[in-house]
A = this chain, B = another copy of it.
Amino acid sequence: MYQLGIVKRNIVRADAAAVKKLSAFGSATVHEAMGRVGLMKPYMRPIYTGAHLCGTAVTVLLQPGDNWMMHVAAEQLHPGDVVVAACTADNTDGFFGDLLATSFQARGALGLVIDGGCRDIKDLTAMGFPVWSKAISAKGTIKATLGSVNVRVVCAGAEVNPGDVIVADDDGVAVVPAAMAMQVADAAAAREANEAAKRAKFASGVLGLDLYDMRPALEKAGLKYID
Chain A positions within 8 Å of B, measured between CB atoms, are: 1-10, 26-28, 31-32, 34-39, 41-42, 45, 48-50, 63-66, 68, 70-72, 74-75, 88-94, 97-100, 102-103, 105-107, 117, 119-122, 135-140, 142-146, 152, 154, 157-159, 169-172, 174-177, 180, 195, 198-199, 202-209, 212, 214, 218, 221-227
Q: How far is the CA of A99 from the CA of B196 in the complex (A)?
A: 9
Give the 9 A-B residue pairs with the shortest CB-CB distance, closest first: A71-B208, A42-B137, A64-B65, A2-B37, A138-B171, A28-B138, A102-B202, A138-B172, A103-B202
Which one of B8, B70, B71, B157 lies within 8 Å of A226 (CB-CB)?
Answer: B8
The minimal Cβ–Cβ distance linking A184 to chain B, given in whole angstroms, is: 9
A-B contact pairs, 16 of them (CB 8 A): A4-B36, A7-B225, A9-B226, A10-B227, A32-B140, A42-B136, A42-B138, A48-B49, A64-B91, A71-B208, A71-B214, A88-B139, A99-B208, A119-B172, A122-B170, A138-B172
Chain B residue with the shortest CB-CB distance to A175: B1
**Contact (Cβ within 8 A) B100 A28:** no
